[in-house]
Structure 1
Amino acid sequence: MKAEELDQKFEKGEDITEFLDFAKARRPGRESRRVNVDFPEWMIHSLDKEAKRLGVPRQSIIKIWIAERLKELS
């Protein structure tokens, strides 16, 4: 199927999921890269406490807080 045909189906509100390969799907500008960061123990305990309170993993708290701070700076 040509891109133009796919665009037309999408614009009409048709289900186009059968034409997509989700195994190869990417989110431009959102590729992940692993980094290692060392935190003091008191910080880990505080992060874990807040993560438990919110019912999310520690990593989620870290990513959300860093993203919020970076948005403030831009």
Structure 2
Amino acid sequence: MVKKKPAKSTEEFDRRFDDGEDIHDLIDISKAKIVRHGRKVRITIDIAEELVSEIDGIRATIGVDRGALIKVWLYERVKQEKELTAISHP
């Protein structure tokens, strides 16, 4: 089997992946980490119907579940706040 040449950029890697190329030989699995975020906790929030409709519009456009999209947004915002806090309180 011929070893594939590594991608020269993230754009090339993404293109090769998007084109359906088998990219397993391009990934160094030995450095992969499994992240376990701990025990899950269920929360309930009330949101205006109009906001839910807007979220559902975005969700439908990118093809993901509403809950998954909200989780990603929450994660990204918490990460952003942590970075801002670290910058303002060195």
Say yes or no: TM over 0.5: yes
Q: 1:47 aligns with which of 52, 55, 58?
A: 55
For 1:35, the aligned partner's letter is: I
Using the alignment, how far apart are the partners of 1:51 and 1:30 within structure 2?
Answer: 26
C-alpha displacement of 1:47: 0.7
- Root-mean-square deviation (CA, aligned residues, Å) is 1.5
C-alpha displacement of 1:31: 1.9
For 2:62, the aligned partner's letter is: L
Matched, 1:62 2:70: yes
Identity %: 29
Using the alignment, how far apart are the partners of 2:59 and 2:38 within structure 1?
Answer: 23
C-alpha displacement of 1:61: 1.1
C-alpha displacement of 1:68: 0.6
TM-score for the superposition, normalised by structure 1: 0.59
* Aligned length in residues: 48
Q: Which runs of 5+ in 2 are unaligned?
A: 1-29, 31-35, 83-90
Runs of 4+ in 1 over 6 A off after TM superposition: none
Using the alignment, how far apart are the partners of 2:38 and 2:57 within structure 1?
Answer: 28
TM-score for the superposition, normalised by structure 2: 0.49
